[in-house]
Chain A
Amino acid sequence: MPKKSMELLTETMFYVLMAFCKGAMCGIDVAEFIEKRTKGRILIGPATLYTILGKFEKEKYIVEVQVEGRKRTYEITEKGRLAYTEEVARLKQCVEDAKAAAFERGDLDEWK
């Protein structure tokens, strides 16, 4: 059965949820977290980040907990945490499947 749109998290969306799993944060903190965690591989753009925050809030993956001037702080909800853990499980399965396929080919160099 095809997955619905919010069941498919892009890489950026996944990392945003990862950031919120660490704790409540505002948008700028999320951007810094992602940059550090990926060692600069992913530099999330402000428009992308703002759109994801809006979408997650609408889907109740995160909820606003504090407003200070122009900064809004969010924390992850149970629904958001569940979506994150499901995505982690899916990605783990992808890695396992890739390992198994490489083993069948006898090509284990990429896993060293």
Chain B
Amino acid sequence: MKGVTWMSGNNEEQKTYYRLAPCPSYDVEGMESWLEDLAEEGLFLTSDGFFCGFGFFHKEEPRKVKYRLQAGETPGNILADGDGPEKEQREISEALGWEFVVRRGEFYIYRSMREDVREMNTDPEIQAITMKMVEKRQLSSVTTCLIWLVLYPLVKKNGAFLVPMLYMKTWFYFFSLALILYFILSPVWKFVYYTKLRKKLKKGEQLNREKDWKKKAWIQPVKNIIVILACCAWGCLVLANIHRNVLFEDEIPLKDYTGNPPFATMADIAPGKTYEIRPMGYSNTVVEWSDVLAPVNYIWEEVAEVWVTEDRSVYGLWDVNYHEVRWPWMAKLVAKDYMRMDKERDFEIIGELDLGVDYAMAYIDDIHMEKIVLVHGNKVLQGTFHEYAGGQENYFTMEEWAQIMADSIK
């Protein structure tokens, strides 16, 4: 593959060649072997290093050179490979025949054009000490990933994961989970590799510089391409979702909605009576969607007024989150998830209600709203009714409006 033409230090034009690394950055033996093989073909790694798995090379007279990877003093990171070695380290290396080329990941890459040059590492036990340092950094990465990608989201949602999964769609949830697992398992894999390498060095064994990198050369590039494409796709999906949310594209105004929701709405609290939606600016919408684990889902937000008698109206907020999941046991778990998500500072359980459904629990959420979660078969409903009574006593007690909701899902 040919690439960009650039001007070298002595103003001679040199083309840059790109080669996809056949092994991961942490495969010390594979990387050294591969770079040395490329040098015998006339390709020499430049100080531009690597980008997205592609190495930058110049073409020169083919010859035997030695490449060695040396663990870096400071951690590399995913965005930039980090700094080069300390000045003293470079001074000593150059005096003893080794030039620093570039950093890749956790390792500095050194090169020597001299066949009789002494090795970078002449004491395997000492080399094992630097590998231990890299191992510790990797363990720290694993811990960080576990905390931020797994524990933090769970703690934030008080351990709820089913409801967030239904809201973001199960397929997207598992797609995200697969990426999370990859980013957690990646440092774990590296940690295991470094541990094996360190133990090998501690036994006094030398690294295998003749490692056959060609054997599984297709795996790394294919893996890189899949990961890059998956991350791009994930990013596009997230942006598209944000865009939809900002523009409220999924929300249908209730005044335009012609569907028939499978649960009670405010109009059902006094059937046949005068009913009027009250515009609130942010409410009176319905979102409806289907999911592989829950074919029917609704988010219903309604502010309306119903004239229950000639001289009495009921004006309030009627919110329902409704799901028909695949299995009754899942319905119970979803109901528990809703309660977990509301479990903040002032959360309080009121108690189980006898409404003629499989499960009915009432509680007060963190903003002092009375809420219920109902389960009947594979149906789950989380609902709230907040009456704006304007100083009067509420027309409905909690048990009454809860019964209306429960009757609608039986």
Please report A residues at the B interface, Cβ cutoff 8 Å: 10-13, 27-28, 31, 42-53, 55, 69-72
Most A C-beta atoms less than 10 A away, residue of B90, B95, B130:
B95
Contact (Cβ within 8 A) A55 B96: no
Most A C-beta atoms less than 10 A away, residue of B89, B92, B127, B129:
B92
Q: Known interface pairs A28-B95, A55-B129. Does A48 touch B123 (Cβ–Cβ under 8 Å)?
A: yes
Contact (Cβ within 8 A) B129 A44: no
Contact (Cβ within 8 A) B121 A45: yes
Contact partner of A70 among B68, B87, B122, B123, CB < 8 A? B87
Q: A72 CA to B91 CA in the complex, in Å? A: 10
Contact (Cβ within 8 A) A43 B122: yes
Q: A48 CA to B70 CA in the complex, in Å? A: 10
Contact partner of B96 among A11, A31, A69, A71, CB < 8 A? A31
Contact (Cβ within 8 A) B93 A46: yes
Q: Known interface pairs A28-B95, A31-B96, A51-B130. Does A46 touch B89 (Cβ–Cβ under 8 Å)?
A: yes
Contact (Cβ within 8 A) B126 A27: no
Contact (Cβ within 8 A) B129 A51: yes
Q: A43 CA to B119 CA in the complex, in Å? A: 8
Contact (Cβ within 8 A) B88 A27: yes
Contact partner of B91 among A45, A52, A70, CB < 8 A? A70
User: Is the C-beta of B118 less than 8 angstroms from some C-beta in chain A?
Assistant: yes
Contact (Cβ within 8 A) B122 A51: no
Q: How many A-B pairs fall under 8 Å by CB?
A: 73
Closest to B95 in A: A28
Q: A52 CA to B127 CA in the complex, in Å? A: 10
Q: Can you list 26 A-B contacts (CB < 8 A)?
A: A10-B123, A10-B126, A12-B123, A13-B123, A27-B88, A28-B91, A28-B96, A44-B122, A45-B96, A45-B118, A45-B121, A46-B93, A47-B93, A48-B126, A48-B127, A50-B88, A50-B93, A51-B126, A51-B127, A51-B130, A52-B126, A55-B129, A70-B87, A70-B90, A70-B91, A72-B88
Contact (Cβ within 8 A) A45 B119: yes
Closest to A54 in B: B73
Closest to A67 in B: B88
Q: A46 CA to B88 CA in the complex, in Å? A: 10
Contact (Cβ within 8 A) B120 A12: no
Q: A12 CA to B126 CA in the complex, in Å? A: 9
User: Is the C-beta of B98 less than 8 angstroms from some C-beta in chain A?
Assistant: yes
Majority-rule SS of B interface residues: helix
Closest chain A CB from B125 CB (angstroms): 5
> Which interface class (under 10, 10 to 19, 20 to 34, 35 or more) fits B?
20 to 34
Closest to A64 in B: B88
Contact (Cβ within 8 A) A50 B92: yes
Contact (Cβ within 8 A) A28 B92: yes
Q: Known interface pairs A45-B96, A45-B120, A46-B96. Does A10 touch B125 (Cβ–Cβ under 8 Å)?
A: yes
Residues on the A chain within 8 Å of B123, using CB: 10-13, 44-45, 48
Residues on the A chain within 8 Å of B88, using CB: 27, 50, 53, 70-72
Closest chain B CB from A69 CB (angstroms): 8
Q: A42 CA to B70 CA in the complex, in Å? A: 20
Q: A60 CA to B271 CA in the complex, in Å? A: 87
Q: A13 CA to B125 CA in the complex, in Å? A: 10
Closest chain A CB from B279 CB (angstroms): 70
Contact (Cβ within 8 A) B91 A47: no
Closest to B120 in A: A47
Closest chain A CB from B84 CB (angstroms): 12
Contact (Cβ within 8 A) B92 A46: yes
Q: Given A50-B92, A51-B130, 7 more contacts at CB 8 Å?
A: A27-B88, A42-B122, A44-B122, A45-B120, A46-B89, A46-B95, A72-B88
Residues on the B chain within 8 Å of A55, using CB: 129
Q: A53 CA to B73 CA in the complex, in Å? A: 13
Closest to A45 in B: B122
Q: A108 CA to B87 CA in the complex, in Å? A: 51
Residues on the B chain within 8 Å of A27, using CB: 88, 91-92
Closest to B87 in A: A70
Residues on the A chain within 8 Å of B90, using CB: 70
Q: A70 CA to B91 CA in the complex, in Å? A: 6
Residues on the A chain within 8 Å of B87, using CB: 69-70
Residues on the A chain within 8 Å of B127, using CB: 47-48, 51
Contact (Cβ within 8 A) B92 A31: yes
B85-117 interface (Cβ within 8 A of A): 87-93, 95-96, 98
Closest to B119 in A: A45
Q: A71 CA to B95 CA in the complex, in Å? A: 11
Closest to B128 in A: A51
Residues on the B chain within 8 Å of A50, using CB: 88-89, 92-93
